[in-house]
Amino acid sequence: MDPEQAAHWSPRKKRPRQRSASVASAPHDIRFQDLVLFILEKKMGSTRRAFLMELARRKGFRVENELSDSVTHIVAENNSGSDVMKWLQGQNIQASSELELLDVSWLIECMGAGKPVEMTGRHQLVVSDVHGSRQNPGPKPVRKIAKLEGVWRTFCLPGFILQDAFDILAENCEFRENEASCVEFMRAASVLKSLPFPIISVKDTEGIPWLGGKVKCVIEEIIEDGESSEVKALLNDERYKSFKLFTSVFGVGLKTAERWFRMGFRTLSTVKLDKSLTFTRMQKAGFLHYEDLVSCVTRAEAEAVSVLVQQAVVAFLPDALVSMTGGFRRGKKIGHDVDFLITSPEATEEEEQQLLHKVTNFWEQKGLLLYCDHVESTFEKCKLPSRKVDALDHFQKCFLILKLYRERVDSVKSSQQEGKGWKAIRVDLVMCPYECRAFALLGWTGSRQFERDLRRYATHERKMRLDNHALYDKTKVKVVFFFPLKLARVFLKAESEEEIFAHLGLEYIEPLERNA
């Protein structure tokens, strides 16, 4: 769940919609730890550079704003290796022989492949002997601009670049609290992701849902010009960039980001150093563990957290059932947190209420609890269905930062962990009554977009109401008293997610298929 939601989650009062992690307000997860890229602005221009940087980050590449010792690959466009060396010398930087100087075509191919592709002679930039002592890595044909443009154009057309454009547009709408447009763009990104063919012309969008109106105009522009002027402008927009940066801190939501932006802050370091600002407990934790929290949680780390959670929960409630939910249940390889749903067939109300407190106290004693925020249950069966549409649910939950020791994860390679031997991981625990478990599991598995569409389907197509607690049929009532006549809602029971889909008249959709 989003940190901002965690900070202010309350089903009792209506809140403005919070930032969603799925549109990537948080910094992007680094999937390729061994590569550190720097994209040269010279001859490329700042807009194209910003666009490529954003795109590469979205694909899981680490891209530095500034040239530093950690950079392993310099990517340039319309520059020879000698040009790049000359530029480096102008910056008083001595390039080591390990530093790769690459043509932008390599980056573009990486974007297409979604991972680093092999660097061949045609990617590597030629350095003539007069420019430094670097050896030429191999024969390198001179890249022709026309050819490059050809590559770029082909690269622009498939769904993934369109999808990235809509992710950025959705994110900006979210920053501006324009929910309708945000949903419109998110849907477009989602639809484009699922298309089995690339969109090459506007005609290809005909008959596809959610690709009309504003979305169609953006697609048209990308097809014609290779890029969207709106997206391009956003990537250079101070407000967008600042909101993205500020909301990447755990506990910083739109209001705080807005305030800091209006106060003239543009970097996290100036925010942190400013004496006039006060920070919430959550934001303090966010700054303290920033590096760890912005780096993605890997599946191996999620599994290790799962063992910790299982062990602690069953120590206090042996019959408890613990399910990993959220993105990891949908098969995602990385996530921004790890979500768990806990329930117990036998626990008394008191045992149920105590469990999360016992578990977090236990971790605190073990020195594993870096941050903890409990939200008590407001669940009252008789008050269902909940009319609070923006409240996720009424279950008891806690939002945590746990210390995950390196030895618990075999494949931990994160650089943050090398020094201290552990990594701070965001964990959400939700405790639900046993009879709600199927609904809670469905709701907490997500994705948000999938949940939104499923609920919409239930309401509009089936005249039912679905939330994390229950499903009820709005067309039916049952008589509970004859005199005086008293009618009650008809709740549809479900022991499993399959039964919920069946009530909705839908074929079962596996969690892996819910990444919409």
The CB density around residue 513, as the number of other CB atoms within 10 Å, is 12
Closest residue to Mg ion in the complex (CB):
326
Is 103 part of the annotated catalytic residue set? no
Is 390 part of the annotated catalytic residue set? no
The CB density around residue 146, as the number of other CB atoms within 10 Å, is 7
To the nearest whole angstrom, how small is the minimum distance from the Cβ of residue 323 to Mg ion? 13
29 forms part of the interface with Mg ion (CB under 5 A):
no
Pick the closer one to ligand DCT by CB: 2 or 103.
Answer: 2
What crossing angle do the helices spanning 448-462 and 179-194 adopt, rounded to 10°?
100
Residue type, 225: D
Site for Mg ion in 334-353 (CB under 5 A): 335, 337, 339
d(C-alpha 404, C-alpha 417), whole Å: 10
Of these partners, Mg ion, ligand DCT, none, which one is at the site of residue 184 (CB under 5 to 8 Å by kind)?
Answer: none
Q: Is 434 in contact with 342 (CB distance < 8 Å)? A: no
Site for ligand DCT in 380-409 (CB under 6 A): 392
Of these partners, Mg ion, ligand DCT, none, which one is at the site of residue 304 (CB under 5 to 8 Å by kind)?
Answer: none
Options 103, 337, 393, 467, the catalytic residue = 337
d(C-alpha 502, C-alpha 487), whole Å: 25
Of these partners, ligand DCT, Mg ion, none, which one is at the site of residue 21 (CB under 5 to 8 Å by kind)?
Answer: ligand DCT
Pairing type for strands 36-39 and 62-64 reads parallel
To the nearest whole angstrom, how small is the minimum distance from the Cβ of residue 446 to ligand DCT? 3
Instruction: Please give the C-alpha separations between residue 445 and each of 301, 328, 512, in angstroms, as whole numbers.
Output: 18, 8, 10
Of these partners, Mg ion, ligand DCT, none, which one is at the site of residue 467 (CB under 5 to 8 Å by kind)?
Answer: none
473 annotated ligand binder: no
Is 204 part of the annotated catalytic residue set? no
SS3 94: coil
Options 167, 339, 373, 467, the catalytic residue = 339
301 forms part of the interface with Mg ion (CB under 5 A):
no
Pick the closer one to ligand DCT by CB: 2 or 77.
Answer: 2
Length of the chain: 516
Q: Is 324 in contact with 430 (CB distance < 8 Å)? A: no
Exposed, middle or buried: residue 306 (CB in 10 Å: 0-12, 13-18, 19+)? Answer: middle
Which residues would be at the binding site for ligand DCT (CB under 6 A)?
A: 1-2, 21, 326-327, 332, 335-337, 339, 392, 443-444, 446-448, 451
Which residues would be at the binding site for Mg ion (CB under 5 A)?
A: 326-327, 335, 337, 339
Catalytic residues, by residue number, are 337, 339, 428
Known binding residues are: 337, 339, 428
Known binding residues for Mg(2+) are: 337, 339, 428
